Amino acid sequence: MKESLMDVVCCPLDKADLDLDVDERDDDEILAGTLTCTECGETYPIEDGIPNLLPPDMRDEAAA
C-alpha cells in the first residue's frame, strides 16, 4: 500500500486513526508492517503490500 493511504485508512471498528509500523518498504510503498488503532489498540497486518483491515471476528471466519 502507498504510505499516502494512511490519510485514508482507519480502524473498521471505531473509525479511529491508525499508527503505521513498517517492517518492509519500497520507497513510499509499504510492503509489510502493522497498523495499530490509536483508539482500541487493535492491530491489522500489512502483507504483500495489502493492508488487512477486516475486523478480527471476520478475519477468523475467513480463515476457517
Q: Under the rule (CB under 5 A), what is the footprint of Zn ion?
A: 11, 13-14, 16, 37, 39-40
In the bound state with Zn ion, the residue whose beta carbon lies nearer, of 16 and 22, is: 16
For 51, left (φ over 0), alpha (ψ -120 to 50), or beta?
beta
CB of 44 to Zn ion, least distance (A): 9
CA distance 25 to 11: 22
- Which H or E element spans position 37? strand 29-37
CB of 14 to Zn ion, least distance (A): 4
As given in the structure block, the three cell numbers for residue 12 are: 473498521
In the bound state with Zn ion, the residue whose beta carbon lies nearer, of 13 and 31, is: 13
CB of 34 to Zn ion, least distance (A): 14
